[in-house]
Structure 1
């Protein structure tokens, strides 16, 4: 006959094992579906973006700079005053937009993107030249399922 504390200990161990297995299964299913999708492109290469994808436009910093420089006089001093005024009027939203645009370019550069459009999943898999993001991610998912 087993002692009562031994029985309780075995039950607690069984419940603990079941919880551990459940949490491991839950974590692995979350990892399989929690993917980051980056779309790297520019204004010359339009893409059909899927929901949840982060779009990086490599020429966005230049387009923002062109907005700021539009119609500036040739006199550098006057041009500087106008640009400073435009920056002030744009406020924090414009500053965030500029910062994000340059950070996006740095992120794409850090990934080693060679051409656009590029669809990158989990910063590990890339499909080049596909303008339909859903089709590109489907190709990546098919590849991932076939790899051990």
Structure 2
């Protein structure tokens, strides 16, 4: 391809209008382990009761003697797998985020860190509510 043809192709490419890009909302889902939220797709999902569910077995049936209880709890904690530790860390992150957003209940679906839809168990339905709110001048 000669230089003139390359310039022509470059001009055509630059002059071609592109379709508008719709920004993808940042979506965070806060739920209990017993709740089923559909359509989570790429959303960040937090189980706000995950820490409690993961740590309950660590303290179950501990001896009444504090020294013995500490030893048993330490052994249980050391026996946790990396996956268990990551799940506990993710649950702690979720609790921290829920507190920062001052969420009142779950399920809660947070969009762009700025708007929350409560009580909806389908992300697509919550997204429609959010977009309607935004279209009406929300923010």
TM (norm. structure 1) is: 0.70
Is 1:49–2:46 an aligned residue pair?
Answer: no
What is the root-mean-square deviation in Å for CA atoms of aligned residues? 2.9
How many residue pairs get aligned? The number is 131
2:76 to 81, 86, 110: 86
Larger Rg: 1
- Give the C-alpha shift of residue 43 in structure 1: 4.1
CA distance in 1, matches of 2:73, 2:38: 33
Q: More helix by proportion, 1 or 2?
A: 1
Question: Is there any run of 5+ residues in structure 2 with no aligned partner, and where?
Answer: none
Unaligned runs of 5+ in 1: 1-7
Question: How far apart are residue 146 of structure 1 and its match?
Answer: 4.4
What's the secondary structure of 1:90's corresponding residue?
Answer: coil
Deviations 1:33-86 (A, max 9, x none): 422211112246x13231222222222212222121122222222221121111
C-alpha distance after superposition, 1:91-116 (max 9, x if no partner): 43332222221111111111221222
